[in-house]
Amino acid sequence: MADKSSRGLADVVAATTSVSDIDGENGRLFYCGYDIHDIAGRISFEECVYLLQRGDLPQQQDLDDFEDELNRSRQIGPTTEALLPHVVRNASPMEALRTLVSSLSADDPDAADSSVEADRRKATRLVAQLPILVARYEAERNGRPAVEPDPDLGIAGNFLWQITGQYPSDRVQELFDTCLVLHADHTMNASTFTARVIAATLSDMHSAITGAMGALRGPLHGGANEAVMNTLASIEGDVDAVDEFVRAELSAGRKLMGFGHRVYKTEDPRATHLRKMSEELSELAGDRRYYEFSRRMEQVVFDTKGLYPNVDFYAASVYHALGIPTDLFTPVFAISRMSGWTAHVIEQHEDNRLIRPASEYTGPRDRRWTDIAER
Ligand code: ACO
């Protein structure tokens, strides 16, 4: 029998990294040595991308230059433009975006260059292009022209502007920007590991990111935020209905999305921020229903199962209050995590060794071939 602790690679150190670190016992998360509690709400998403991809926080001039580079990099090439209406018609957001991200390499000027400098340029383009692709998806499926990005807004503000068609207040921009910072990186999560496995074959940045998008989509990973919203929306009645709902789900042996974590043995530090943001945004939106439901659900799940909410739980009511359609919640996660994925691909390429774990064979042995007529 396989050692149980290695099932799902739990506790296996699969890579060395200086991008991020987690202390699961004490519920702490660090980006390049900075505690998430210290930087959330203090650095912009653009600063966070710079930090993860380069290892240090930028000085003002570095940040100005980087923001200029991001603004120049959001162009979508003709191959992706041509593909967009087809995939929008036929595919759900994460399927479509996975395909569109893959197609970006066809027009990327550095596609054939595998140097670290080219990786950095590709990384910047991908961070700039994905929010535009999500906004284009949303416009296309609603049959309206895409809203042009506003040069005065950063990635967070522009995304809300393009998706909702409403100019976000400074406070709303700040809060969404913090959401992007909170989701930016998280050590060897499933999608980042996927990206590193692909990069470790010396495959290219776009292949690694396409794989990561596929891994993020699943409901046990980034797809959980959409599932949480669908759960909250499915509960009829007032907040007291939450207790019965949770108990029925758990006694039927079903998992509640947005709870539990492989690494954290206590509260996920990102949930601490998102809970507060959920309350503030619910107040601003004038509708506390899903915040109140979430608070009650958190309480009942903890009392019944001892499970804590993870990053996806309060992200659901936050994104809902921001006016983001539910099926774009996981794409929003991808917009943020693009920063971490690309940082990890660069790091993997800089000091590469093929990732090729072992397996333990559990099937039959010593079988003998028989002719097909005699089987
Ligand atoms: N609801 C109910 N029970 C749960 C939950 C949950 N959300 N999470 C874990 N458990 C229970 C399991 O049923 C299991 O119980 P058992 O030992 O009696 O069988 C025990 O806790 C351990 O759970 P595993 O699934 O084995 O833990 P693992 O470390 O493999 O999985 C995971 C972690 C996938 C996050 C799990 O907690 C889960 O499925 N949560 C719901 C999905 C989710 O929210 N995913 C997002 C995670 S954060 C992120 O990826 C961005």
Chain-centroid distance of CA 160 in Å reads: 17
For ligand 1, whether the C-beta of 260 sits within 6 Å is: yes
* CB-based contacts of 119, cutoff 8 Å, min separation 6: 205, 342, 345, 346, 349
In a domain, 195, yes or no: yes
Q: Is the ipTM of this complex over 0.95?
A: yes
Q: Among 245, 261, 265, 274, name the best residue to mutate to test ligand 1's pocket (greatest count of ligand atoms within 8 A of Cβ).
A: 261
Q: What is the pLDDT of residues 25-66, one digit of tens each?
A: 999 999 999 999 999 999 999 999 999 999 999 999 999 999
Task: Say whether both 234 and 197 belong to one domain.
Answer: no
Which pLDDT band, with edges at 50, 70 and 90, does 3 fall under? low
Separation of CA 8 and ligand 1 centre (Å): 12
Q: How far is residue 294's CA from residue 316's CA, in Å, rounded to a whole number?
A: 9
Count CA atoms closer than 13 A to 138's CA, side-chain side: 24
Residue 109 placed within a domain: yes
Nearest to 122 by CA among 332, 330, 345: 345
| Domain limits for position 45 | 20-218+327-350
Banded pLDDT at 5 (limits 50, 70, 90): low
8 Å CB contact between 114 and 349: yes
Asked if residue 311 has its Cβ within 6 Å of ligand 1, the reply is yes
Tell me if 233 is assigned to some domain. yes
Contacts of 326 (CB under 8 A, 6+ apart): 226, 229, 230, 233, 319, 320
Question: How remote is the CA of residue 340 from the centroid of ligand 1, in Å?
Answer: 23
CATH number of the domain within which 178 lies: 1.10.580.10
Residue 349 known to be catalytic: no
- Residues 146, 252 share a domain: no
Is the CB–ligand 1 distance for residue 102 below 6 Å? no
Domain limit, last residue, from 303, 321, 339: 321
The answer to whether residues 164 and 241 belong to one domain is no
Please write the tens of the pLDDT for every residue from 336-345: 999 999 999 9
Dist CA 134 CA 149 (whole Å): 12
Query: What Cα–Cα distance (Å) separates residue 239 from each residue in 267, 295, 297?
Result: 23, 9, 9
The single residue of 312, 320, 344, 349 carrying the catalytic annotation is 312
What CATH number did the domain enclosing 267 receive?
1.10.230.10
Is there a catalytic annotation at residue 261? yes
Residue with tokens 């959401």: 179
CA–CA separation, 343 and 49 (whole Å): 8
Same-domain status, 88 and 178: yes
Three-class SS of 26-41: CCEEEECCEEHHHHCC
What distances in angstroms separate CA 305 from CA 217, 244, 269, one per listed residue? 26, 14, 19
Nearest CA to ligand 1 atom 34: 220
Check if the beta carbon of residue 278 is closer than 8 Å to that of residue 318. yes
229 and 128 in a common domain = no
Check if 296 has its Cβ closer than 6 Å to any atom of ligand 1: no
254 domain residue, yes or no: yes
Single out the residue of 135, 126, 127, 137 nearest to residue 96, CA to CA. Answer: 137
Cα-based distances in Å from 308 to 57, 143, 269: 31, 41, 11
Whether residue 311 is predicted with pLDDT greater than 70 in this model: the reply is yes
For ligand 1, say whether the CB of 9 is within 6 Å of any of its atoms: no
CA-closest residue to ligand 1 atom 28: 262
Alpha helices in 91-189 (DSSP H): 93-103, 116-141, 155-164, 170-182
Residue 121 pLDDT: 98
Tell me the CA–centroid distance for residue 307 and ligand 1, in Å: 9
Task: Give the count of beta carbons closer than 10 Å to the beta carbon of residue 165.
Answer: 13
Q: Tell whether ligand 1 has an atom less than 6 A from the beta carbon of residue 262.
A: yes
**Are 211 and 88 spatial neighbours (Cβ–Cβ below 8 Å)?**
no
**CA separation for the pair 322, 276 (Å, rounded):** 14
**184 assigned to some structural domain:** yes
pLDDT of residue 83: 97
| Residue 255, token pair as written in the block | 């998992």
Rg, Å, the chain Cα set = 22
Residues 210 and 230 in one domain: no
216 lines ligand 1 (CB under 6 A): no
pLDDT 10s digits, 312-330: 999 999 999 999 999 999 9
**Does 375 fall in a domain?**
no
Answer yes or no: is 368 within a domain.
no
With the most atoms of ligand 1 within 8 angstroms of its CB, the residue from 310, 313, 336 to mutate is 310
Residue 178 CA to ligand 1 center (angstroms) comes to 26
d(C-alpha 106, C-alpha 204), whole Å: 12
Give residue for tokens 């509708």.
287
Contact 178, 319 (CB under 8 A): no
Does 350 have pLDDT greater than 60? Answer: yes
Assess whether 346 and 314 both reside in one domain: no
121 shares its domain with 84? yes
Please say whether the dihedral angle defined by the alpha carbons of residues 189, 195, 197 and 200, taken in this order, is positive or negative.
Answer: negative
For ligand 1, say whether the CB of 300 is within 6 Å of any of its atoms. no
Same domain, 181 and 136: yes
Same structural domain for residues 305 and 338? no
Residue 11 placed within a domain: no
pLDDT at residue 6 in the model = 83
Q: Is the pLDDT of residue 223 over 70?
A: yes
Same domain, yes or no: 246 and 117: no
Between CA 311 and CA 181 the distance in angstroms is 12
31 shares a domain with 70 = yes
User: Does 256 contact ligand 1 (Cβ within 6 A)?
Assistant: yes
Cα of 234 vs centre of ligand 1, distance in Å, is 21
Number of structural domains the chain divides into: 2
The Cα angle at residue 349 between residues 96 and 122, in degrees rounded to 5: 45
For residue 227, how far is its CA from the centre of ligand 1 (angstroms)?
Answer: 14
